[in-house]
Amino acid sequence: MTTPLCSAAPVTFTPARLTALAQGFGTPLWVYDADTIRSHIAALRAFDRIRFAQKACSNVHILRLMREQGVKVDAVSRGEILRALAAGFQGGFDAAEIVFTADLLDRETLATVVQHQVAVNAGSIDMLDQLGEASPGHAVWLRINPGFGHGHSNKTNTGGEHSKHGIWHTDLGAALATVRRHGLKLVGLHMHIGSGVDYGHLSEVCGAMVGLVRQAHAAGHDVHAISAGGGLSIPYRAGEPVIDTAHYFGLWDAARQEAAAVLGHALQLEIEPGRYLVAESGGLLTEVRATKQAGANHFTLVDAGFSELMRPAMYGSYHAMSLLPLDGTNGANGNPRPVRPTVVAGPLCESGDVFTQGEGGVVLQRDLPEARVADLLLIHDTGAYGASMSSNYNSRPLAAEVLLDGATERLIRHRQTVEALLALEDL
Ligand code: LLP
């Protein structure tokens, strides 16, 4: 089978290989391509530090790949800190390797950041107080909400007064005073205004960051680094723009230089992407198990649901799809299957368990080659916020994950079993 897959799928994702993976590991199955991740890292090398927002894809083997590439890591929970440690971060006693970003510190996480001396990126003054009492001298960043934000959905906009994230910009002075009172060590200022950001506003963001550095300097604080946060998008639909990382860096570099001039010394510039580094490296492989007609709508039912990929149900997100017919009849020179508009839906007992939907849950039909039972379907660009947002809803075990590196492949997470789920309930 030589059918090319739609969109910019990794070159390792050939129909023959994906079919063999489905046969070997079963479906639903997450598949990642290591070279795609490496090439996205390479496109951001101009930044002094790349910090992977692991919430996008927190498998320890993906974290190890990041570490091998010199990428640092962001953690947002105790679990993510422990994952980063398991992947070898902080092993070289470089306290800059893991940064814990949050708006609160639960007691267990506070103990963990103190024990492992993980730098804390504080989104509230209460965090600074609690950390300062437990660990005077601890390294901190201040995450500032500049009063505006953007995202691909309201749910991923992390700036402005409707967002719970970050220290409100007018509280910077109070936050700095808290840092000083506890003798905390201020590393830098951080801003992440949303995921899937509209770059028309980037100069506004950079300007806000320079203003914050100015304010910190005027209050007698030194700043060693600034973080541009994450938010870089990827083209989920054919024809959507590919981000110009050189231009993106250029705007931030200019802001860094302006801030450095204020401080009178050099300043490190870091970036904290999640989606950009991993989204295009991943696909969700699922098997067609039923097809049917309901009035005007045709349905293709697959064995993955929003328990695996939550994004369409949660945000109305679009993911390209490729059908991999079992009999290879979709080949360009073969006997192509007719295209048929269809709703692609999963096995969950929820009407919203539909992969082809718009914002607000409107069910949409997608033009795909006509699917038959036992065909495979690849859902593209699911490397970010795919497996990491999966759940056990409907008592479905988490799916397995496989990492392809050139010709080699590795099972990087076993499929969970129902027995493992039940074991937690002390039968
Ligand atoms: N830094 C911070 C502090 C963040 O909160 C996030 C994402 C990132 C970095 C990385 O953002 P990225 O580069 O991936 O856009 N589940 C949603 C995305 C939620 C993002 C939450 N925070 C989705 O599937 O689109």
Q: Which residues face 165 on adjacent strands?
A: none
Q: Whose CA is nearest to atom 3 of ligand 1?
A: 192
Asked if pLDDT for residue 263 goes beyond 70, the answer is yes
ipTM reported for the complex, 2 dp: 0.99
Residue 306: partners with Cβ closer than 8 Å, 6 or more residues away: 312, 313, 314, 346, 348, 350, 352, 353, 393
Residue 105 — φ and ψ, nearest 5°? -120, 110
Average pLDDT over residues 150-163: 83
Q: What is the DSSP code string of 315-334?
A: H-----EEEE-TT-TT-TTS
Greater confidence (195 vs 136) lies with 136
Residue 318 annotated in ligand binding:
no
Per-residue pLDDT tens digits for 326-369: 887 664 455 689 999 999 999 999 999 999 999 889 999 999 99
Measured CA to CA, the distance from residue 272 to residue 256 in angstroms comes to 16
Residue 294: partners with Cβ closer than 8 Å, 6 or more residues away: none
- Residue 200: the pLDDT is 77
- Give the containing element (helix H, strand E) for 179: helix 172-181
> Do the strands 268-271 and 297-302 form a parallel or antiparallel pair, or are they unpaired?
unpaired
Q: Is 349 a catalytic residue?
A: yes
- Residue 246: the pLDDT is 95
Could you give the domains of the chain?
Answer: 15-30+279-423 (2.40.37.10), 45-272 (3.20.20.10)
Per-residue pLDDT tens digits for 68-114: 999 999 999 999 999 999 999 988 666 679 999 999 999 999 999 99
Residue 236 annotated in ligand binding:
no
Q: Determine the residue type at 81.
A: I
Secondary structure class of 205 (helix, strand, coil): helix
Ligand 1: atom nearest CA of 233 is 15
- Residue 425: the pLDDT is 96
- Residue 153: the pLDDT is 79
**CA-closest candidate to residue 327, choices 283, 371, 367, 366:** 371
> Do the strands 400-405 and 408-413 form a parallel or antiparallel pair, or are they unpaired?
antiparallel
Ligand 1: atom nearest CA of 273 is 13
Q: What percent of the chain has pLDDT over 90?
A: 85
Residue 137 annotated in ligand binding:
no
158 CA → ligand 1 middle, Å: 9
Average pLDDT over residues 168-196: 95
Average pLDDT over residues 263-268: 98
Per-residue pLDDT tens digits for 368-392: 999 999 999 999 999 999 999 999 9
Average pLDDT over residues 277-291: 98
Average pLDDT over residues 127-142: 97
Per-residue pLDDT tens digits for 15-64: 999 999 999 999 999 999 999 999 999 999 999 999 999 999 999 999 99
- Residue 2: the pLDDT is 39
